[in-house]
């Protein structure tokens, strides 16, 4: 109170100086360490930057492309972004290479004047004359979204079960441990194949994510549980327990801060694993056929033999996006490892 009253009487200059100092301290204590840390942990920064760049590209692409007029007559399109709506495909735009690729030869014969303008099809078209740029722009968020849903759910379920197991010990622990041991040795993809086949319906992106989490949570559970077991024996947790702190309070106030690196790493790992599995499932023909996700593009590429047709643009661009996603997630998780296990830093 006294301090607040005190500040009211200060001159403008002093206030600015005080504020600057406060922000200076804030910068020194909060912001600077991040940069200092970034220099020590380049994989984390590079990974985040790669992922950020991909997201930036997608968002900008969607915003710009969403404003453009559809240029294919006879399709139920709002904008060029809706290229995936495939009814009434006109024939002449089939199998176009990227239109900036002036040295690429057309696969389907066409009149010279029909050649589209330089940026009409930045990533070419497929055998159904769908604009692959639009397809990829739509596909990246779909694929990332599936991974995100799966990752969030996996880590959520994994963390809760890990706490139940580690905290209550006894029967719940044994059951959860058995379940994770069993779950880890069964490839989730195979179970998902069965689920998908037996359900008989196509799974949209978030359902796919939920399905992946249903088989993928065991990995998070295992990672987190082993860390909770270590933490449980720490003196400060013991002190908290003896001073009568409640179970939940111990978990959230004492253990959580130390678990964050592991939970984050487990999250990134399960996002990557889920995306890998989702693309696999889609490539096997078990995806959502009306969805332009990256995995479905891979499926169509294999189905239509894009490689033998020489349509490199059909598979190369999604491949690049997939590689960017996996490499960036890998770098991020390597960086998180370094964060939780400083020994690795030595040779980063």
Q: How many residues bind another protein (CB under 8 A)?
A: 53
Backbone angles phi, psi at 194, to 5 degrees: -65, -45
Q: CA distances (Å), 201 to each of 84, 206, 312, in order?
A: 20, 14, 32
Least separation, in Å, of the C-beta of 91 and another protein?
A: 25
Q: Which of 160, 241, 280, 304 binds another protein (CB under 8 A)?
A: 280
Size (the chain), residues: 348
Shorter beta-carbon distance to another protein: residue 144 or 286: 286
Shorter beta-carbon distance to another protein: residue 3 or 346: 346
Q: Which of 3, 8, 30, 39 binds another protein (CB under 8 A)?
A: 39
Shorter beta-carbon distance to another protein: residue 108 or 174: 174
Answer yes or no whether residue 298 interacts with another protein by CB under 8 A. Answer: yes
Q: Which of 9, 242, 243, 347 binds another protein (CB under 8 A)?
A: 347
Answer yes or no whether residue 255 interacts with another protein by CB under 8 A. Answer: no
Measured in whole angstroms, the distance separating CA 154 from the mean position of its chain's CA atoms is 13
Q: CA distances (Å), 194 to each of 197, 198, 199, 200, 226, in order?
A: 5, 6, 8, 10, 31
Can you state the angle between helices 170-185 and 132-168, rounded to 10 degrees?
Answer: 150
Q: List the x/- string, 186-225, binding to another protein by CB under 8 A.
A: xxxxxx-xxx-xxxx-------------------------
Helices (H), the chain: 2-8, 12-26, 32-40, 42-67, 132-168, 170-185, 188-199, 205-232, 235-242, 247-249, 256-283, 294-303, 312-340
Answer yes or no whether residue 157 interacts with another protein by CB under 8 A. Answer: no
Answer yes or no whether residue 100 interacts with another protein by CB under 8 A. Answer: no
Q: CA distances (Å), 275 to each of 138, 161, 243, in order?
A: 15, 23, 45
Answer yes or no whether residue 178 interacts with another protein by CB under 8 A. Answer: yes
CB-based contact 81:106 (threshold 8 Å):
no
Answer yes or no whether residue 326 interacts with another protein by CB under 8 A. Answer: yes
Residues forming contacts to another protein in the complex (CB under 8 A) are 36, 39-40, 174, 178, 181-182, 184-191, 193-195, 197-200, 273, 276-277, 279-280, 283-286, 298, 301-302, 307-308, 310, 312, 315, 319, 322-323, 326-327, 329-331, 337, 341, 343-344, 346-347
């Amino acid at each position: 109170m006294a301090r607040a009253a005190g500040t009211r009487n200060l001159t403008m200059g002093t206030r600015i100086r005080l504020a600057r100092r406060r922000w200076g301290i804030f910068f020194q204590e909060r912001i600077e360490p991040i940069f200092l840390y970034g220099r020590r942990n380049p994989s984390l920064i590079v990974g985040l930057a790669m992922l950020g760049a991909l997201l930036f590209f997608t968002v900008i692409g969607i915003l710009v492309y969403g404003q453009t007029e559809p240029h294919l007559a006879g399709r139920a399109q709002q904008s060029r972004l809706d290229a995936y709506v495939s009814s009434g495909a006109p024939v002449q735009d089939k199998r176009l290479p990227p239109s900036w690729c002036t040295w690429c030869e057309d696969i389907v014969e066409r009149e010279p004047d029909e050649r589209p303008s330089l940026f009409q099809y930045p990533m070419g078209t497929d055998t159904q004359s769908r604009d692959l740029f639009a397809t990829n722009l739509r596909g990246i968020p779909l694929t990332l979204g599936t991974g995100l849903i799966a990752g969030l759910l996996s880590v959520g379920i994994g963390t809760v079960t890990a706490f139940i197991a580690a905290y209550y010990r006894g029967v719940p622990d044994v059951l959860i441990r058995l379940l994770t041991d069993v779950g880890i040795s069964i490839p989730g993809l195979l179970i998902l194949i069965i689920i998908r086949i037996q359900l008989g319906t196509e799974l949209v992106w978030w359902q796919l994510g939920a399905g992946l989490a249903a088989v993928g949570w065991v990995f998070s559970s295992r990672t987190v549980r082993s860390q909770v077991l270590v933490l449980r024996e720490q003196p400060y947790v013991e002190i908290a327990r003896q001073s009568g702190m409640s179970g939940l309070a111990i978990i959230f106030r004492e253990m959580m801060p130390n678990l964050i690196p592991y939970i984050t790493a487990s999250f990134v790992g399960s996002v990557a694993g889920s995306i890998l599995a989702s693309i696999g499932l889609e490539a096997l023909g078990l995806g959502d056929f009306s969805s332009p996700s990256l995995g479905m593009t891979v499926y169509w590429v294999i189905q239509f033999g894009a490689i033998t047709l020489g349509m490199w643009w059909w598979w190369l661009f999604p491949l690049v996006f997939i590689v960017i996603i996996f490499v960036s997630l890998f770098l991020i998780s390597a960086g998180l490892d370094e964060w939780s296990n400083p020994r690795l830093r030595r040779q980063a």
